[in-house]
């Protein structure tokens, strides 16, 4: 019978949590990306889903917002695929993309306020999950 180190189970649990957080971040980033692509397409098509606010400080054309969300969504989906493979570059870029998604949704609050707040919260969880240290990280 071999003796086990008393913290072995704790390390395994921490490793499992960190791995689970990475998968969580990858799934959430993919969902956020797909939804951003759909939101971008809807805005580019000038769908009647969005509210037009004429006196907003950060006024952009609805089509311009659509292209911004479409581009961020495509990049988010691609980065999430890198996260599923466990790439280190994907963690760094994922945090950056989630941050840009937060900014884009903050600036487009008047066009679709409830959904913007939901996506901001999702992106904050993505950043949190990607910044959770994994076993072996310094």
Any domain includes 78: yes
Tens of pLDDT, residue by residue over 102-137, are 998 898 887 778 888 999 999 999 999 999 876 555
Domain count, the chain: 1
The CA-atom distances, in angstroms, between 82 and each of 26, 61, 88, 92, 131 are 8, 32, 8, 11, 16
Answer whether 44's CB lies under 8 Å from 67's CB: yes
pLDDT value at residue 63:
80
Its pTM stands at 0.76
pLDDT above 70 (res 68): yes
Answer whether 122's CB lies under 8 Å from 18's CB: no
More confident residue, 12 or 105: 105
pLDDT value at residue 46:
72
pLDDT value at residue 83:
92
pLDDT value at residue 138:
46
pLDDT above 80 (res 14): no
Any domain includes 121: yes
pLDDT above 70 (res 92): yes
Any domain includes 137: no
List the domain range (segments joined by +) for residue 68.
24-47+58-130
More confident residue, 14 or 59: 59
Print burial letters for 72-97: b (CB count within 10 Å at least 16), e (below 16). bbebbbebbebbeeeeeebbebbbeb
Any domain includes 135: no
Q: Where are the alpha helices (DSSP H) in the chain?
A: 8-44, 62-84, 88-107, 113-130
Any domain includes 30: yes
Task: Extract the tokens encoding 8.
Answer: 């072995």
Any domain includes 73: yes
Length of the chain counted residue by residue: 138
Any domain includes 35: yes
pLDDT value at residue 30:
95
Any domain includes 18: no
Instruction: Give the C-alpha separation, 16 to 14, whole Å.
Output: 5
């Amino acid at each position: 019978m071999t003796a086990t180190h008393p913290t072995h189970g704790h390390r395994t649990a921490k490793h499992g949590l960190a791995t689970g957080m990475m998968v969580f971040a990858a799934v959430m980033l993919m969902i956020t990306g797909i939804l951003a692509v759909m939101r971008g397409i809807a805005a580019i098509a000038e769908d009647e889903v969005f509210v037009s606010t004429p006196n907003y400080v950060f006024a952009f054309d609805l089509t311009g917002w659509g292209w911004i969300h479409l581009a961020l969504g495509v990049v988010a989906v691609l980065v999430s695929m890198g996260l599923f493979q466990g790439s280190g570059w994907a963690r760094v870029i994922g945090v950056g993309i989630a941050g840009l998604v937060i900014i884009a949704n903050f600036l487009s609050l008047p066009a679709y306020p409830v959904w913007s707040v939901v996506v901001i919260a999702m992106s904050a969880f993505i950043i949190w999950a990607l910044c959770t240290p994994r076993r072996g990280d310094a």
